[in-house]
Amino acid sequence: MNLEKDPQLIFLKCAAQPSQNNFKVLYEATQMRLFPVCLRILKNQELAQDCLQASYVKIWRNLDSYDAKKSKAVTWMSRIIRNQALDMLKRKQIVDYVDDVPDMADPSLHQEAQLLAAEQSALLAQCLAQLKPQAMHCILGNYFDSLTLQELADQLSQPLSTVKTWVRRSLPLLKKCLERSYEQH
Amino acid sequence: MSNIDTIESELQLEYLAFIHSCGSLSAEEQDQVAQELIDLPEFQTRVAYWNQYITELDLSLEAVSAPTLVWQNVRQEIAQSTIISDNVQEMSSNSLADHLTKGLKKWWLGLKSVSWGLAASAMLILLVVFVTQPKSPVNIDNQWIVKSNVNSNVITLVAVSPAPIPVGITCNLWITNDEGALFVAALPEKGKVSIDLSNYPDVLEKFDQPGLLQVTFDPKGNQPQTMGKVMLETSWSI
């Protein structure tokens, strides 16, 4: 167990002893994994920075509300980041789409799933890769880009009902695969 | 309701839970969720399920470092809240000291029938705890205080507890450094305890570098394998 590298231990230490120094260690250990969430959803460098800033201030203020029984600290933090990004998105603060953000709408779908096959998301990526490509595209587009099904339907030039059916049918399959995979590990 | 209807409604519930978890409900779906589903335990369970698994997608994105400006801004904002928090903590400490002083006064007055000498000695012991360790780290949680004093290899902890430790919880002492965390001993619920680390040769052997002494709250039971909430932390070196 390395206190300097394990985000969970760093978080617990920071929650127990909330100091600027401890929080800086936590920030440095986690921001690289969380900043991309802001970038992905907001697709705007400046807004993503604002999102990250606001999120970490929220994390700081809510350190004591984290419950280790419910989730890992990084997962808890990522929910705060995602909610912040979605709030900002809903407030329609997006102005431009900057080029330096990877385009997740690119339908090279299985490639995306391969990219996801890193670290603890490997199981999830494997399950996604088992879905029909169009269903996976919708699920990823839905999650990463926060596109509504209507927007995805427009993008794919398909009726809304068709897109909805893809997603609805694929969710039980995804769930079954996830449960099976996590049981095996 | 026919089987097909049941399956359809299950699929629809799953779908809405997933989309809700993604944060990409359409306006119409948002209304439906807010009016019909948000308080439904089955819906909440499904949302929690997707939150748990799908959030991992976020963490799978390629790492990108934020500009240093972001941290500078965060630091500025939390510095303001730290000042407020420090003031609150100071007030808490003072309030607690007042509370204990008042308690002692009441106790003093209530002991008229007891010999003055005996009472004075007892009070002196209690005061010594506070007076001789003014600089030691103090942690306050629901009126629960732990003070530590590290002298050579002997760790002394004083638990002054107007309120008892919560039921089912025990207080454990750990030593941590870059090598990891090592459970040393469970501490008594109240009172003063001294632990001579010379009696723990395996601890001293493993931890030959400076580290931290940490006291955690853990569920009562067998020796804990992982650390619970850290209530006290102080530096330590042999």
Where does a domain end: B131, B156, B177? Answer: B131
Cα A158 to Cα B41: distance, rounded to the nearest angstrom: 34
Q: What is the pLDDT of residues A109-135, one digit of tens each?
A: 344 444 444 444 566 777 877 888 888
Specify the pTM. 0.52
**Are B238 and B204 spatial neighbours (Cβ–Cβ below 8 Å)?**
yes
Look up the ipTM and state it: 0.71
Among A158-172, B27-41, B79-93, name the most confident range. Answer: A158-172
Quick one: B15 and B35 in the same domain? yes
Quick one: A82 and A25 in the same domain? yes
Quick one: A83 and A130 in the same domain? no
A97 located within any domain: no
Q: Tokens in use for B75?
A: 């630091």
Question: Which candidate from B14, B15, B79 shows the least CB-CB separation from A20?
Answer: B79
Residue B50: pLDDT band (50, 70, 90) is: confident
Quick one: B185 and B117 in the same domain? no
Please give the C-alpha separations between residue B234 and each of A10, B145, B230, in angstroms, as whole numbers.
Answer: 16, 14, 11
Structural domain of residue A153, as residue ranges? 109-184
**A175 pLDDT exceeds 80?**
yes
Quick one: B102 and B188 in the same domain? no
CATH number, domain of B166, equals 2.60.40
Cα B216 to Cα B201: distance, rounded to the nearest angstrom: 22
**A51 pLDDT exceeds 90?**
yes
Residues of chain B with Cβ-Cβ distance to A27 below 8 Å are 71, 74
| Helix (DSSP H) and strand (DSSP E) numbers for chain A | 9, 0
Q: Is A22 or B164 the better-scoring residue by pLDDT?
A: A22
A114 located within any domain: yes
Quick one: B37 and B111 in the same domain? no
**B122 pLDDT exceeds 80?**
no
CB contact under 8 A, B78 and A71: no
Residues of chain A with Cβ-Cβ distance to B53 below 8 Å are 124, 178
- State the DSSP H helix or E strand holding residue A171, giving kind and residue range, or none if neither: helix A160-184
Q: What is the mean pLDDT of residues B116-143?
A: 32
Where does a domain end: A90, A118, A142? Answer: A90
Structural domain of residue B75, as residue ranges? 68-131
Cα B222 to Cα B186: distance, rounded to the nearest angstrom: 10
Q: What is the pLDDT of residues B197-210, one digit of tens each?
A: 677 676 666 656 66
The number of domains in chain A is 2
Put simply, whether A72 touches B (Cβ < 8 Å) is no
Where does a domain end: A59, A90, A121? Answer: A90
Report the candidate in A83, A79, A77 with the shortest Cα–Cα distance to residue A42: A83
Quick one: B230 and B155 in the same domain? yes
Where does a domain end: B86, B103, B131? Answer: B131
Q: What is the mean pLDDT of residues B53-75?
A: 83
Please give the C-alpha separations between residue A164 and each of A144, B6, B19, in angstroms, as whole numbers.
Answer: 17, 18, 11
Put simply, whether A13 touches B (Cβ < 8 Å) is yes
Residue B190: pLDDT band (50, 70, 90) is: low
Quick one: B151 and B219 in the same domain? yes
Residue A52: pLDDT band (50, 70, 90) is: very high
Quick one: A115 and A79 in the same domain? no
Q: Is A5 or A142 the better-scoring residue by pLDDT?
A: A142
Quick one: B150 and B168 in the same domain? yes
A98 located within any domain: no
Residues of chain B with Cβ-Cβ distance to A155 below 8 Å are none
Quick one: B153 and B200 in the same domain? yes
- The predicted pLDDT at position B176 comes to 79
Quick one: B123 and B163 in the same domain? no
Where does a domain end: A90, A124, A153? Answer: A90
**B193 pLDDT exceeds 70?**
no
Residue A27: pLDDT band (50, 70, 90) is: very high
Q: Is A99 or A88 the better-scoring residue by pLDDT?
A: A88
- The predicted pLDDT at position B52 comes to 75
- The predicted pLDDT at position A35 comes to 92
Q: Tokens in use for B44?
A: 């909440």
**Are B237 and B211 spatial neighbours (Cβ–Cβ below 8 Å)?**
yes
Quick one: A67 and A125 in the same domain? no
- The predicted pLDDT at position A57 comes to 93
Strand order through the sheet with B144-151: B138-141, B144-151, B154-160, B191-196
Q: What is the mean pLDDT of residues B12-28?
A: 84
Where does a domain end: B113, B131, B149? Answer: B131
For B69, name the nearest residue in chain A, comparing CA atoms only: A49
Residue B96: pLDDT band (50, 70, 90) is: very low
Q: What is the mean pLDDT of residues B36-56?
A: 83
Quick one: B198 and B171 in the same domain? yes
Q: Is B91 or A72 the better-scoring residue by pLDDT?
A: A72
A121 located within any domain: yes
Quick one: B112 and B44 in the same domain? no
The number of domains in chain B is 3
Q: Tokens in use for A31?
A: 């921001």
Best probe of the B interface among A41, A65, A75, by most B CBs < 10 A, is A75
A165 located within any domain: yes
Cα B59 to Cα A35: distance, rounded to the nearest angstrom: 10
Q: Is B174 or B188 the better-scoring residue by pLDDT?
A: B174
- The predicted pLDDT at position A9 comes to 86
**Are B200 and B184 spatial neighbours (Cβ–Cβ below 8 Å)?**
yes
A96 located within any domain: no
Put simply, whether A5 touches B (Cβ < 8 Å) is no
Lowest mean pLDDT among A77-81, A175-179, B1-5, B40-44: B1-5
